[in-house]
Structure 1
Amino acid sequence: MSSHTALVWFRRDLRLHDNEALVDACGADRVVPVYCFDPRGYGQQPYGGPDSFDVRKTGLHRLRFRLESVADLRSSLRDRGSDLVVRIGRPEAVLPDVATAVGADSVSMHTWPTPEERQVESAVQQALDNVGVEPRRFWGHTLTHPDDLPMDLDALPDTYTTFRKAVENDASIREPLHTPELPALPDSVPEPGEIPALSDLDEDVSNAAQAEDEPLASPNNEQATPSEQAIPLFEGGETAGRERVESYIWEGDHLREYKETRNGLVGRDYSSKFSPWLNEGCLSPRYVQSEVERYEDVRVSNDSTYWLTFELRWRDFFQFQTAKHGGEFFQRSGIRNRTDIDWRDDDAQFDRWAAGETGIPFVDAAMRELNATGYVSNRARQNAASFLANNLRLDWRRGAAYFETQLVDYDPASNYGNWAYIAGVGNDSRDRYFDIVAQARRYDADAEFVTHWLPELADLPPEYAHEPWKLTDAEQADYGVQLGIDYPEPMVDLDASYEKLD
């Protein structure tokens, strides 16, 4: 009887647990795990389509996280007697070469719904067909499998509440798959290759990381550890992801109060912060859900445990919406095909927003945290997005693309779906904008978040820290904050900008 050799192509599924592509490949006699650093995912690339612009695809924070995640995956595979073949190159070129070298019969892989990812898959499938290797595709990054949805994708509701109720009532969640035993590598396996350095993938990003080994400085320029700053720094990899689940749910018992704390702004544990590991595939959402259900059985079942599942379903919603609408999701007019909004292009204004120099403290604090850490709370990122898309009316896709560069937890469907929603071109028929000062007062009442990231405002009382433009000249002198010198004057009259939206 002839033996079977399989490749498993790791993509945004950098884990051994609950990995159907890996389980499928491990049914073969020999398995070769492969990971490709696709050059199209790094450096400056065109956004594509009408009114295109250039975007840096992967910034420092996510690139570091990805390199750590690939290294962790390789370590886990080696611990089990296997290895990870790593290459820099287009998968449609790399995978047929490796498959031919080892005499592979099939390549198992996960699939994603965005046009960019689908185009790569199609190119890989064609290239494998040309060398007589079978591509085998699986879906493994959502809580609910698309085959278990109570409707076809083309009938998927475009509003979350309708989707959620249907799924809660009429769909099941599959049990996570166990980590399989890994068959031996074939004798003809190629050299595994080195995991690249930052400079191998993006020289500019590498240059930005030159101060990496310097002590981390707090916003007040005092030496501080990450924990003292309460900056949520993330270590990539399945190992670190599972440790985060353990520490958040079980050791810290934070899930008990998740619904009450999830709109927090400063600290490590106001929310789960599972998203970087979920979106790079180091954690399976079904595994997270299984831990939530175990917690409910062992400790407590309440609104907070339900709400974490609620948020996992939000993530599902945007994945399935992208599968339904495809490229429309990423167009300026959105899935609602809105042509009535006069989107502007203003590089100077965009650069001030990106740098956290708008003169609107809640927005600036959000952008400075994003730039420094690759992460920002959902509440703060929504307000920053609303300011760009609604108050400034700058092309929302440029803001979403900037988040794509900076976010350590970037996922194309969730990122662009949320931006389109806020910009009024996505999954909501209402015009969606935030009263930024009201939001700041509600969620940052003592201005802890604002003054943490804007230390120049630290001596102001909260009401002025959120609206420093209301300081008189005498008060500016008393507090030592001169607008236009110590902190920017607002780049827009907020009240007047809201009038245009009503």
Structure 2
Amino acid sequence: MNIYWFRNDLRLHDNEGFLKATQKADEVLPVFVFDPRLFEKTPMGFHKTGIYRTRFLLESVADLRASLREKGGDLLIRIGEPERVLAELAQHYDAEELHLSKEIAQEETDVESSLSKRLKQLNVDMIFTWMSTLYHVRDLPLAINRLPEVFTDFRKNVEKNAAVRPTANQPESVDSPADCEAGEMPTLADLGFTEAEITPPDPRGVLDYQGGETAGLQRLQKYLWESDHIATYKETRNGLLGADYSSKFSAWLSLGCLSPRRVHEEVKRYETERTANNSTYWLIFELLWRDFFHFVMLRWGTRLFKPSGLKLDKDKRWRHDRDLFEKWQTGQTGVPFVDANMREIAATGFMSNRGRQNVASFLAHDLGLDWTWGAAWFESLLIDYDVCSNWGNWNYVAGVGNDPRQDRYFNQYSQATRYDPEGSYVKYWLPELAKVPTDKIHRVWQLSPAEQQEYGVVLGEDYPLPIVEGDKWLK
């Protein structure tokens, strides 16, 4: 009998590790463990895994359980430290092997190491399968310690010299032990959330995110085959409002509800059967960015989590002003484009890629605050949180990553007028500015007292005064 430990691979399609576990034994015990450490409060005072991400995770695990039951098996669910829970299960069921996907970030690998020590005492082998990226790590045309510092160099090398492996089949059936006590799905309260924190999803969100492989495959089908939105992806991907300006696959990719190889496979089929253009290529291009950040994490490890980043710049001094940080968190900076994005993520757990770059730049460069605070806030809130992409991108924007351009700075006014020219996005999330004209919406700090009265917004009362000198962006 084998155990399969599901982590960030909550799917049956293209799950090579799970398929292998079912092929190597007559019975397999699928397990998911909710680790309480991942839901605790951080030193900053918010949950490490916040309400939106937790809700999406619960839905994804429930969907996986339903899929396994359809195949005759089940998903054993427990709350506890995985290294302890899994060792106890291995001993109880006299398991021969424990199969799992290979993770690369420190917290995950620390748990793997702890589990490995316990399983060695039981003579149980751990069998890892690499499944998190589009390109398999062993198929890269270069060693990880020779990974290029620049994404473009990585992309060109990989596109020219490597191939994406075909997707793996699903097991036709799953046989779990007859005495498997599956356990109940935990509630949000079981995972430490208070009644005040458990609020229904905000209806203003770009998408009604539903966790799980079923919903992920439906989104893939809709975005490609039912709507053809992929055909204009490159032109619309910097949008801010609506469900379809971008694919939104990232949430399902983050928990492995969607396989990147499955997405790639479907895009290639779409190119063959319908059209191939810059937009279809650009979606694969984004999957390559995702791969790059995974391999960056594999090469540089814990350096991504340190304020000095990949550059190990010890001379840079970051500010640690909690009051300023809270204004950024809550969308009270007095800079409409920043505030609209920060209110969206706080209300829904999602923010566009364009918004993420801008608010990160504002925190790191305009406020000079410790960028790791911002990365931790995103980790808590984002439905599509991916440890490699999140911390890699924050390194990049904060100017401590391996980007050849130093201090990747975003001018908030020019960004706002370019990507929200009518002010529609700002007014959507900042209704107090609804009456401000388009030509003034992105520089409200310039409104005269008479204009404030005319537009129904008093600066410092209805909307905050800016915490930075906004006119610097207009010069």
Q: Match of 1:11, as an amino acid?
A: R
Q: Residue 99 in 1 paired to residue 74 in 2? A: no
Partner residue in 2 for 1:434: 410
Deviation at 1:230, TM superposition (A): 5.9
Q: Match of 1:492, as an amino acid?
A: V
**Taking structure 1 as reference, are residues 54 and 139 closer, same or farther at Cα in structure 2, changes over 3 Å only?**
farther
- Find the partner of 2:196 among 207, 210, 214: 207
- CA–CA distance in structure 2, aligned partners of residues 196 and 159 of structure 1: 43
- CA–CA distance in structure 1, aligned partners of residues 358 and 472 of structure 2: 17
Gaps of 5+ in 1: 47-52, 218-225
- CA–CA distance in structure 1, aligned partners of residues 261 and 420 of structure 2: 33
C-alpha RMSD over aligned residues:
1.5
Within 5 A, what are the aligned runs for 1:101-500? Answer: 101-189=92-180, 191-204=181-194, 206-209=195-198, 211-212=199-200, 226=203, 229=204, 231-429=206-404, 430-495=406-471
- CA–CA distance in structure 2, aligned partners of residues 173 and 203 of structure 1: 41
SS of the counterpart of 2:196? helix
**Taking structure 1 as reference, are residues 434 and 30 closer, same or farther at Cα in structure 2, changes over 3 Å only?**
same
Within 5 A, what are the aligned runs for 1:2-17? Answer: 5-17=1-13
Q: Match of 1:323, as an amino acid?
A: L
Deviation at 1:97, TM superposition (A): 1.2
Stretch deviating more after TM superposition (428-437 or 442-451): 428-437
- CA–CA distance in structure 2, aligned partners of residues 168 and 462 of structure 1: 43
- CA–CA distance in structure 1, aligned partners of residues 64 and 317 of structure 2: 46
- CA–CA distance in structure 2, aligned partners of residues 255 and 495 of structure 1: 38
Partner residue in 2 for 1:64: 55
Deviation at 1:54, TM superposition (A): 6.0
- CA–CA distance in structure 2, aligned partners of residues 86 and 323 of structure 1: 29
Partner residue in 2 for 1:221: none
Stretch deviating more after TM superposition (426-435 or 344-353): 426-435
Deviation at 1:55, TM superposition (A): 5.3
Q: Residue 40 in 1 paired to residue 22 in 2? A: no
- CA–CA distance in structure 2, aligned partners of residues 353 and 166 of structure 1: 39
When normalised by structure 2's length, the TM-score is 0.97
Q: Match of 1:40, as an amino acid?
A: R
Contact kept, 8 Å, 1:391 with 1:498, in 2: the verdict is no
Q: Residue 29 in 1 paired to residue 26 in 2? A: yes
Structure 1 runs, 4 residues or longer, greater than 4 Å off = 495-499
Contact kept, 8 Å, 2:206 with 2:242, in 1: the verdict is yes
- CA–CA distance in structure 1, aligned partners of residues 259 and 56 of structure 2: 17
- CA–CA distance in structure 2, aligned partners of residues 148 and 105 of structure 1: 29
Deviation at 1:182, TM superposition (A): 3.2
Contact kept, 8 Å, 2:411 with 2:473, in 1: the verdict is no
- Give per-residue Cα distances to partners, 1:251-275, cap 9 Å, x unaligned: 1110000000000000000000000
**Taking structure 1 as reference, are residues 176 and 31 closer, same or farther at Cα in structure 2, changes over 3 Å only?**
same
Contact kept, 8 Å, 1:315 with 1:414, in 2: the verdict is yes
SS of the counterpart of 1:350? helix
- CA–CA distance in structure 1, aligned partners of residues 41 and 225 of structure 2: 41
- CA–CA distance in structure 1, aligned partners of residues 64 and 320 of structure 2: 42
- CA–CA distance in structure 2, aligned partners of residues 195 and 39 of structure 1: 14
- CA–CA distance in structure 1, aligned partners of residues 421 and 45 of structure 2: 38
Stretch deviating more after TM superposition (486-495 or 419-428): 486-495
Gaps of 5+ in 2: none
Q: Residue 78 in 1 paired to residue 89 in 2? A: no
Deviation at 1:9, TM superposition (A): 0.3
Partner residue in 2 for 1:222: none
- Residue correspondences, number: 473
SS of the counterpart of 1:287? helix
Deviation at 1:24, TM superposition (A): 1.0
Q: Match of 1:456, as an amino acid?
A: E
- Give per-residue Cα distances to partners, 1:439-482, cap 9 Å, x unaligned: 00000000110000000011111221111011111111111111
Deviation at 1:202, TM superposition (A): 1.7
Q: Match of 1:36, as an amino acid?
A: V
SS of the counterpart of 1:486? coil
Contact kept, 8 Å, 2:150 with 2:403, in 1: the verdict is yes
Deviation at 1:341, TM superposition (A): 1.9
Deviation at 1:124, TM superposition (A): 1.2
**Taking structure 1 as reference, are residues 148 and 54 closer, same or farther at Cα in structure 2, changes over 3 Å only?**
farther
Stretch deviating more after TM superposition (402-411 or 421-430): 421-430
Q: Match of 2:409, as an amino acid?
A: Y
Q: Match of 2:302, as an amino acid?
A: G
When normalised by structure 1's length, the TM-score is 0.92
Contact kept, 8 Å, 2:293 with 2:392, in 1: the verdict is yes
- CA–CA distance in structure 1, aligned partners of residues 470 and 161 of structure 2: 45
**Taking structure 1 as reference, are residues 393 and 498 closer, same or farther at Cα in structure 2, changes over 3 Å only?**
farther
Q: Match of 1:251, as an amino acid?
A: E
SS of the counterpart of 1:459? coil
- CA–CA distance in structure 2, aligned partners of residues 183 and 479 of structure 1: 63
- CA–CA distance in structure 2, aligned partners of residues 7 and 182 of structure 1: 16
Stretch deviating more after TM superposition (487-496 or 36-45): 487-496
- CA–CA distance in structure 1, aligned partners of residues 364 and 438 of structure 2: 26
Contact kept, 8 Å, 2:68 with 2:174, in 1: the verdict is no
Deviation at 1:135, TM superposition (A): 0.5
- CA–CA distance in structure 1, aligned partners of residues 45 and 445 of structure 2: 34
**Taking structure 1 as reference, are residues 119 and 259 closer, same or farther at Cα in structure 2, changes over 3 Å only?**
same
- CA–CA distance in structure 2, aligned partners of residues 207 and 105 of structure 1: 45
Deviation at 1:184, TM superposition (A): 1.6
Contact kept, 8 Å, 1:391 with 1:494, in 2: the verdict is no
